[in-house]
Structure 1
């Protein structure tokens, strides 16, 4: 033994001699752990970034394979599970997406935030798969969470799809004026617009169901409630006026028929006051009501003023059906020509309309009159697509105007004007 250490206690001497060995073993263990970590880090990011690259190149199948590999290498990473589940859903493999998100929900080490996120993802899986009952149960579990607003919007879409208008109305009222805390910053974002117009649509849909059951009084009450709910919405007044005209046509006396037409005329005139942009939709039923109660002159003046402000094909046809004289272009507002076809030329001075040109040409004498039907048929065919209505949300076109798009289910997404006028 070293004489310099002989005076130390034996246990301390042993400890000092063992210290270098312990240091060496620790250093060796750290090198092995570091090497293993480097190996895992090298393996996991490679699979992850390979999957990300496939995603950027829109190769979803290859991306899924890469993320599956990454999940197998690190099964505790929740973000990879979320990415994999979302990919399954986007590809339409809803069963596997459900399994991924159910696995996340079954994990006990998941934080509350991630648990809520997994619950929301599972609800989206059920929605996309069309399993509405399962989706409803999953969405209800998101009440009181940051995903509450998104869950209620999804439930609202479910109720609309099922045409459960009372339930849809209850959800819409709960959403009116709330903030979506899952969008943007922590303070949340205000949901766009008011739900009052949509609530009015729900009442109109219920009124249509009452009419199908021959409950005319109930339908009328619902339409009046819709007008009170959304005074600026044109649909309730248009529907109410149609109902008033139907009741008038079923009346037994001429006086009752005229009174009903007068009520419809007043209802539609109020619709013009509150919703002038909807004038192309209001014009035709307003003309019909005016002709039934003898108010053609006042309605003609009203429609002509609206037409001069914003020319429209439907307003043009309404004026022609009222036999309105064409204003003299040299003297604004002064009626001159009684040739109703001259209205089409007057319209062409304001709008380069193929539909108006086709209708004007239909009554015109051509040099080669025997070829006129061929030319007319070609023009009419070319003008037909321009007379459709187009959804501003998804571009779905239809021959008739819809309050709810059949394609994307958006409300009030169809402008009152036709494709040619957009």
Structure 2
């Protein structure tokens, strides 16, 4: 049987026409998908701006379904999940991005950073630490190290925090000397609690090397010497503190006075404290002066002068305690209790960053976790 060329000549135009028709159909479908994807994206963006997060998420999911290769939609969707507290869904979105083989290196690093933030917000600190460490050498390197620093502080891993802070310091990301000193002071206190004197001494030395002018290592050195009964060393350490950080000296003024009494040298200490009081009066210095000068009449005159120049409830309470002769015993007691109750809130310390108040002084605020945010003076002395 011979093949008829006429059928071939007739079939070629038909095949061409069918192919052209199929391509047009695919092109129309592609254009339709491309049009639908931006519409869903802009719809989600509009809903997001109107604070309609649930509807915005639905719109972004629709946009991702139309164009699963669009990375920006994935990032927007993951960030929305994180903001809503749906951390598991945010993790899935960012892990899906990282599994894509065609993802650009810049987008891969961005997805890794977003994933680390998901773990951090979810409280999965071990996984967050691993995710942040994977960003070393990336454009997110500094942000990752700062996040790691916060993680180590939260978990009280002070040695690791000191290492990360030192790397940030070397990288020129700011000054971290004071924070490094705090970390070594924390390690010194932990070693002291375990009665490991040599380790505590070494950690304290590292703190002073990190920040020679920081007040906390000097305070801690004096407290350790005082616990050992070495009052001469106490006066030496806190004498340096008085000269370098007169405001921070308020924190140990009474203990300094007591150590001077233990040595039998109240006179020189009194002169130093009185000179400091004249420069910057405070209720703590006033109490320390009372320990060194036990004459009630002179103490009464100091309290009265302080009350006249710097009105405070603490001074009023002290004056009532030493000089309530105009009242009978019951009246004086009632006045002292009333003034003491009113003065108590003003004898606290307040964080300058978040305004959290505490009866005791903190080097790191328990509320905002900031370092050195507490002025070393009580509220009534500010």
Instruction: Determine if the alignment matches structure 1 residue 158 to structure 2 residue 151.
Output: yes
Q: Structure 2 CA distance, aligned partners of 1:66 and 1:34?
A: 19
RMSD of aligned residue pairs (Cα, Å): 3.1
Report the more deviating stretch, 152-161 or 352-361.
352-361
Q: Secondary structure at the match of 1:412?
A: coil
Q: 1:105 to 1:32 in 2, by over 3 A?
A: closer
Describe the superposition over 1:179-216 as per-residue Cα deviations: whole angstroms up to 9, x where unpaired.
Answer: 4xxxxxxxxxx42xx22222222222222222222222
How far 1:28 sits from its partner (Å)? 11
Q: Structure 2 CA distance, aligned partners of 1:364 and 1:118?
A: 71
Cα pair 2:117 2:128 within 8 Å, conserved? yes
Give the gaps of 5 or more residues in structure 2: 1-19
Q: How many residues are treated as equivalent by the alignment?
A: 364
Q: Structure 2 CA distance, aligned partners of 1:290 and 1:60?
A: 65
Aligned to 1:352: 311
Cα pair 1:44 1:73 within 8 Å, conserved? no
Give the gaps of 5 or more residues in structure 1: 1-21, 180-189, 249-259, 326-336
Question: If each structure's helix is expressed as a fraction of its own residues, which one has the higher value?
Answer: 2
Aligned with 1:262 (options 223, 232, 245): 232
Aligned to 2:118: 125
Aligned with 1:172 (options 165, 168, 171): 165
Cα pair 1:199 1:226 within 8 Å, conserved? yes
Q: 1:60 to 1:324 in 2, by over 3 A?
A: farther
Aligned to 2:16: none
Q: 1:85 to 1:284 in 2, by over 3 A?
A: farther
How far 1:33 sits from its partner (Å)? 7.5
Whose relative contact order is higher, 1 or 2, with alpha carbons under 8 Å and at least 6 apart? 2
Aligned with 2:131 (options 127, 135, 138): 138
Aligned with 2:355 (options 392, 395, 400): 395
User: TM (normalized to structure 2)?
Assistant: 0.84
Instruction: Determine if the alignment matches structure 1 residue 411 to structure 2 residue 371.
Output: yes
Report the more deviating stretch, 369-378 or 288-297.
369-378
Aligned to 2:271: 301
Q: 1:62 to 1:366 in 2, by over 3 A?
A: farther
Aligned with 1:241 (options 219, 222, 231): 222
Aligned to 1:207: 188
Aligned with 2:197 (options 206, 209, 216): 216
